[in-house]
Amino acid sequence: MASEGESRVRVLQGTLDLMILRTLQTMGPQHAYGIATRLEQVSEESLKLNQGTLYPALVRLEQEGCIKGSWAKTPSNREAKFYAITRTGKKALDRETVRWRQIAGLVERVLAEPE
């Protein structure tokens, strides 16, 4: 899913969904290329996505009703599928954010233990 370089981050199972939802919440409806670009920007290039792998996550989220895709024109007048976060998606995002912070905090505390 992620490339193997040391400086690059391996995406944990499920965290990609979380990041996609967050991206859509802050940026509004986006096509897959937009989402991928945004994720790369935010991660300051440390997350190198094989962009094709974004799609299974999008299918999953759409099937769960967290996002909704619809075809629309880009400013450059090209047909693209735009994904928007739904109410279900917002709720899921809130829930998962809390959980992520709990887990991250917990892992952080454990790692911070002096030897």
Partner 1 sequence: MQALRRIFAKFVNLFRRRRADTEFDAELDAHLGLMQEELHRRGMAREAAQREARVKLGGVEQARELHRQARGFHWLETLAQDVRFALRTLRKNSGFTAVAVLTLALGIGGTTAIFTLVQQVMLRSLPVAQPQQLWRVGDAVQCCFSNGYTQGDGKWLPLNDWSLFSWEAYKLFRADTPAFENLAAFEVGEHNAGLAVRRAGSQAAVEPRIGEYVSGNFFETFGVSAWRGHLFTDADDREGAPQVAVMSYHTWEGEYGSDPSVIGLTYDLNGHPFTIIGVGPPGFLGAKIDADGGTPDFWLPLTTEPLIAGPTTQLKNPRLAWLDLIGRVQPGVNPKTLEAQIQVELHEWLASHVPDMTLQEKKLWEKQTLRLVPGGAGVSLMRQTYENGLRLLMLAALCVLMVACANIANLLLARGLRSRHQTAVCVALGASRARLVRKALVESVTLSVLGAVAGIGVAYAGAKLILRLAFESPDNWIPVNATPSTVVLLFALGVSLVTGIVFGMAPAWMTSHAEPVEALRGSNRITGRSRGICGAAGAQKTLVIVQAALSLVLLTGAALLGESLWNMEHSNYGFDTSGRYLVSIDPKISNYTQQQLEPLFNEIETRLRAIPGVRAVGAVLEAPQVGWVPGHDIRIDGRPEADGSSGWTRVTPGFFDTVGEKILMGRAITDDDNAATRPVAVVNEAFAKKFFNGENPVGQHFGPLPEKNEGMYEIVGVVRDIDFAGGVQPMYFLPEAQATQFDELESESREVWSHYLYNVVIWAPGNPPNIEAQVKSALAAAAPDLVTGGSQPYSEVIRGHFSQENMIASLTWLFGGVGLVLAAVGLYGVTAYGVEQRTSEIGVRMALGANRSSIFRMVIGEGMSLALIGIGIGIASAVVLGRFLRSELFGIAVTDPFTFAAVALGFALVALAACYLPARRAMRVDPVSAMRCE
Q: Which stretch binds partner 1 (CB under 8 A): 8-16, 20-28, 30-38, 104-112?
A: 30-38
Count of residues that interact with partner 1, criterion CB under 8 A: 27
CB atoms within 10 A of CB 67: 25
When binding is defined by CB under 8 A, the residue of 60, 84, 90, 100 that contacts partner 1 is: 60
Please pick, from the candidates 4, 6, 44, 79, the single residue that binds partner 1 as defined by CB under 8 A. Answer: 79
Q: Which of 4, 5, 13, 78 binds partner 1 (CB under 8 A)?
A: 78
Q: Which token pair is 87? A: 């109410």
- The answer to whether 43 and 8 have CB atoms below 8 angstroms apart is no
Residues that bind partner 1 (CB under 8 A): 31-34, 37, 50-53, 55-57, 59-60, 62-66, 74, 76, 78-81, 88, 92
